[in-house]
Amino acid sequence: MSTPVRGRGAGRSAGRDPDRVRSVRGRSVRDRSARVPGRRRPARRRSTTRRTAIRRRWVVALVFLGLLGLGYAVIYTPLLGVGTVEVVGVKDLTQDEVRAAAAIESGTPMARLDTDGVRTRIAALPRVASVTVTRSMPGTVRLAVVERTPVGVLKAADGAHLVDGTGKDFATVPQPPPGLPELQLPKAAPGDPVTRAVVGVLAAVPDKVRPEVLAVTAKSAADVRLALSAGREVRWGSTDKSPRKAEVLQALLTVDGKVFDVTSPELPTVS
């Protein structure tokens, strides 16, 4: 009896399970189809992230350039330059005098305006006590001036010298303004002790009494005297205890007399 001989190929084929082969192949195909998209997605994400980062860099660069250009326009060009100079608070001075002293050129960039320099130039005007310089966009500069207020008059050959509360002789006028007492002093200066004593006493005089003060004399800083209406005299002395002296004087003036001495407010006298 002869035995059939199987070929090698036939033996391998005969030993395989067709269903298993299909299953293995099917799984192999499915695995490949599942893995391929998974490999592509990270690549796509990286590409998208890279493009987003590039766009952001461009946006930042454009914003920076825009701000740089705006800053240049504000600081170095007349785009936001001075167009109006507004002056307020003047009484005896004119607005044109203040503007001339300020010396602000039209078109000066607002950001580069030297406000300290403007303030210094205006403060150099004798009548100016203080000045405030403010910028108001887009192109207005406001100058708020406070003029000196005279508290007394120093008569001289060239006219009436106005003296303020600091003792500064700041203006000369032909005739003394009404209501101001005469300061019978050889000179008036902020650094002079006698001048400081006189203006200090005038500042302490009660409001009801001040209109009656016609003149002020002082042989020294410790001997200030007030000449009142109706020939009366107040011996004030120094500026020490001035608030108390003012209270006592107001009470003493209700008594008839010619000389009211408050040099020592604890022991006032009327004669």
- Tell me which of 113 and 49 has the higher pLDDT: 113
Question: Residue 48 has what pLDDT?
Answer: 74
What predicted TM-score, i.e. pTM, was given to this entire model? Answer: 0.70
Instruction: Answer whether residue 6 is part of any domain.
Output: no
Say if residue 197 is in the same domain as residue 249: yes
Q: Do both 174 and 247 map to the same domain?
A: yes
Domain that holds residue 262: 150-270
Token pair belonging to 236? 């004030």
**Same domain? 252 vs 154:** yes
**Is residue 26 included in any domain, yes or no?**
yes
Does 247 fall in a domain? yes
Q: Are residues 87 and 126 in the same domain?
A: yes
pLDDT category at 220 given cuts 50, 70, 90 is very high
Task: Please indicate whether residue 71 or residue 162 has the higher confidence score (pLDDT).
Answer: 162
What is the structure's pLDDT at 74? Answer: 56
CB 204 within 8 A of CB 239: yes
In terms of domains, do 92 and 39 share one? no
Mean pLDDT in residue range 138-154: 97
Same domain assignment for residues 62 and 32: yes
192 vs 44, which has greater pLDDT?
A: 192
Residues 231-244: what's their mean pLDDT?
98
162 and 253 share a domain?
A: yes
DSSP bridge pairs for 162: 153, 171
Would you say residue 35 has pLDDT above 80? Answer: no
Q: What is the CATH number of the domain that holds 168?
A: 3.40.50
Q: Is residue 23 part of a domain?
A: yes
Mean pLDDT of 126-148: 96
Query: In the chain, what is the greatest distance between 2 CA atoms, to the nearest angstrom?
Result: 175
- In the predicted structure, residue 260 carries a pLDDT above the cut 80: yes
Same domain, 209 and 265: yes
Report pLDDT for 79.
64
Q: Is 236 helix (H, G, I), strand (E, B) or coil?
A: strand
pLDDT at 78 exceeding the cut of 80: no
Residues 254 and 161 in one domain: yes
The number of distinct structural domains making up the chain is: 3
Is 103 exposed, middle or buried, given 0-12, 13-18 or 19+ CB atoms closer than 10 A? Answer: exposed
